């Protein structure tokens, strides 16, 4: 599969044309009364301001780039819960999307050492070579033997996997392109694709299949404009994990159709019923594959902001160029911390396994609570640290998840995320990245609110 930047495609405007269009629009809107307030009396007879008229204030009108963007609903709930906490309410916050553990000490020590030794400068945009080599080595432990080995020049290190995903969306997709998004899925995919001016096409998974989509559903949703698909296993928000067969069927279809696959594997190490598979293990080719991962979730390193992409060299070059203009390299000290996490495999495995064991114990405790409520529907939580609970019909509301999230916050002081954030309003997401007693208490209150 040959990589062509989105603007190269037939009929699609180039970035420069788009920029020119935006410039003209901006110039026009500056001349419109809603954009600029001209001092009274300074209009000429023709109604236009004289050349020396100065705008006294500029009313912000969102640009076309962000006009469709929505605030992250996960952040909105966290903000509301924080406000209630600040007002003295004892809130059980089950909205969090980050491990409640601290970064392993050996990683912190490595970061201190790196800074003391001078890791305080810019690095190459794509990241320091030893880290990219460690990422490639980590990938090669999984990548299936029939494909070429992953090399460091296929890796870009970014400010969290979020930036890697955004880089990939902007570089592979553009106006007129449709991208299939198995839904429910992480709220930022839809927005990132919108920012790339591509069209996110939600493909809804079936509750009988843990809300996962099948290759057949993706095939049915495709049009001649389909250019790619997002994959995320284990899934945020559902905690569902795709089986090897399910994943293989989807990857085969994508390869056959020449679709880009953006496989977000940020939760891959956090799986309970056997290992979660990586696209690197199953894809028939890596020519159309962009694997995204990072240190945030598995190594409890959310604040260090290190993620990466593994992609064909042409895509990697485009993503590096894009990132060089957007943010340059991720923080040097964080790169050395991530290097320790990836290169010191034994220490890292011990730390990661201990965290995953703790999540697993909590997951089992939650399942025990749920078994006492056989009528409650939920997605079997096989990975990540989320439980997705069905609240369809709650209070007869048109958006039952939001109605429930408000009610349970006010009545039971529990913060959860409404499923509308993930385009499935009949559901709510609770995170169990918190102590077991808090998670169990929170779930018990949720179930009381649902049935009370
Ligand atoms: C599915 C998914 N992908 C990516 C990310 C972003 O992770 P990072 O902290 O590496 O940017 C998150 C964070 O919540 C996520 O849930």
97 CB less than 6 Å from ligand 1?
Answer: yes
* Strand intervals (E) in 213-298: 226-232, 260-264, 289-294
- Distance (Å) from CA 98 to ligand 1 centroid: 9
How far does the centroid of ligand 1 lie from the alpha carbon of residue 383, in Å? 14
Query: Looking at residue 109, what is its pLDDT?
Result: 98
What pLDDT shows up at residue 74?
A: 61
Tokens 């800074």 -> residue: 115
- Spell out the per-residue pLDDT of the chain, length 452, in tens: 667 766 555 444 433 333 334 433 433 333 333 333 333 334 444 445 445 555 568 899 889 888 888 776 666 666 788 888 899 989 999 988 899 999 999 999 999 999 999 999 999 999 999 999 999 999 999 877 788 999 999 999 999 999 999 999 999 999 999 999 999 999 899 999 999 999 999 999 999 999 999 999 999 999 999 999 999 999 999 999 999 999 999 999 999 999 999 999 999 999 999 999 999 999 999 999 999 999 999 999 999 999 999 999 999 999 999 999 999 999 999 999 999 999 999 999 999 999 999 999 999 999 999 999 999 999 999 999 999 999 999 999 999 999 999 899 989 999 999 999 999 999 999 999 999 999 999 999 999 999 87
What is the torsion angle, in degrees rounded to the nearest 10, for the CA atoms of residue 392, residue 397, residue 398 and residue 403?
Answer: -80
- List Cα–Cα distances, 261 to 161, 247, 250, 284, in angstroms: 15, 11, 9, 12
| Token representation of residue 93 | 């916050």
Among residues 260, 259, 403, the alpha carbon closest in space to that of 319 is found at: 260
Please name the residue ranges forming H helices in 117-257. Answer: 129-140, 160-172, 187-195, 215-221, 244-257
How far is the C-alpha of 93 from the C-alpha of 405, rounded, in Å? 12
Q: Is 205 in the pocket of ligand 1 (CB under 6 A)?
A: no
pLDDT of the residue at 370: 97
Residues whose CB is less than 8 angstroms from the CB of residue 49 and which lie 6 or more positions away in sequence, other chains included: 36, 38, 42, 43
Distance (Å) from CA 202 to ligand 1 centroid: 19
Phi–psi pair at 12, nearest 5 degrees: -80, 135
| Every domain of the chain and the residues it spans | 1-67, 73-97+348-451, 119-343
**Which CATH number is 119-343 given?**
3.40.640.10
307 lines ligand 1 (CB under 6 A): yes
Ligand 1 atom nearest residue 162's Cα? 11
235 alpha carbon – ligand 1 mean position (Å) = 11
pTM for this one? 0.88
Residues 135, 195, 433, 364: what is their CA dihedral angle, to the nearest 10 degrees?
-90
Q: Which fold has domain 73-97+348-451?
A: 3.90.1150
């Amino acid at each position: 599969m040959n990589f062509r930047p989105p603007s190269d495609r037939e009929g699609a405007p180039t970035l420069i044309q788009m920029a020119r269009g935006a410039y003209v629009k901006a110039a026009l809107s500056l001349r419109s009364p809603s954009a600029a307030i001209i001092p009274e009396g300074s209009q000429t007879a023709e109604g236009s301001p004289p050349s020396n008229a100065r705008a006294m204030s500029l009313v912000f009108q969102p640009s076309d780039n962000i006009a469709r963007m929505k605030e992250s609903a996960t952040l909105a709930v966290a903000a509301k819960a924080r406000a209630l906490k600040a007002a003295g309410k004892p809130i059980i916050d089950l909205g969090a999307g980050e491990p409640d553990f601290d970064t392993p000490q050996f990683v912190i020590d490595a970061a201190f050492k790196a800074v003391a030794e001078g890791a305080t400068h810019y690095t190459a945009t794509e990241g320091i070579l030893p880290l990219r080599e460690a990422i490639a080595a980590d990938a090669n432990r999984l990548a299936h033997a029939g494909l070429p080995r992953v090399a460091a020049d296929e890796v870009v290190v970014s400010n969290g996997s979020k930036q890697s995903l955004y880089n990939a969306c902007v570089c592979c997709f553009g106006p007129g392109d449709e991208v299939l998004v198995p839904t429910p899925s992480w709220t930022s995919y839809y927005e990132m694709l919108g920012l790339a001016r591509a069209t996110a096409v939600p493909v809804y998974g079936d509750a009988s299949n843990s809300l996962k989509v099948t290759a057949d559903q993706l095939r049915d949703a495709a049009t001649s404009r389909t250019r790619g698909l997002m994959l995320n296993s284990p899934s945020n928000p559902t905690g569902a994990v795709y089986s090897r067969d399910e994943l293989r069927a989807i990857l085969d279809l994508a390869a056959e159709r020449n679709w880009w696959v953006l496989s977000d594997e940020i939760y891959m190490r956090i799986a309970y019923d056997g290992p979660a598979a990586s696209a690197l293990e199953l894809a028939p080719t890596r020519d159309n594959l962009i694997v995204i991962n990072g240190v945030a979730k598995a190594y409890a390193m959310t604040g260090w902001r290190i993620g990466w992409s593994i992609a064909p060299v042409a895509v990697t070059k485009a993503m590096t160029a894009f990132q060089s203009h957007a943010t340059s390299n991720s923080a040097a000290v964080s790169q050395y911390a991530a290097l320790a996490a990836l290169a010191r495999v034994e220490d890292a495995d011990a730390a990661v396994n201990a965290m995953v064991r703790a999540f697993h114990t909590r997951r089992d405790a939650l399942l025990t609570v749920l078994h006492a409520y056989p009528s409650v529907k939920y997605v079997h939580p096989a990975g990540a640290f989320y439980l997705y609970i069905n609240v369809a019909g709650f209070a007869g509301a048109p958006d039952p998840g939001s109605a429930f999230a408000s009610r349970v916050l006010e009545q039971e002081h529990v913060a959860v995320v409404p499923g509308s954030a993930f385009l499935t309003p009949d559901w709510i997401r609770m995170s169990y990245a918190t102590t077991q007693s808090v998670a169990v208490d929170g779930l018990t209150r949720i179930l009381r609110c649902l049935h009370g």
